[in-house]
Amino acid sequence: MTCHFVIYAKKWELHFVTEMVSAKAIYFKNKNTEPLMKIDKGEHPIALQLFGSDPDIIAQMAASIEERDFDIFDFNMGCPCTEDSK
């Protein structure tokens, strides 16, 4: 069942974004990660936010995510702003 927020967001043509998901957590099949990537058919368009520090694992997991039903792939590269890291 689609919630009222989803219906409202679709009316304004907003898209949805998952929680940030660790590439390493996907790679090592962390049991808490799969639920973060679960999407409902009414949540489209939806983006998967992926983050990580190992370029090889990130590339491998990004390729594996292409097989899923996400509309957008968002790679979170962090913020270089020093004020945010205090």
Catalytic residues: 79
Tell me how far apart the alpha carbons of residues 3 and 47 are, in angstroms, rounded to a whole number: 18
Report the candidate in 45, 41, 50 with the shortest Cα–Cα distance to residue 77.
50
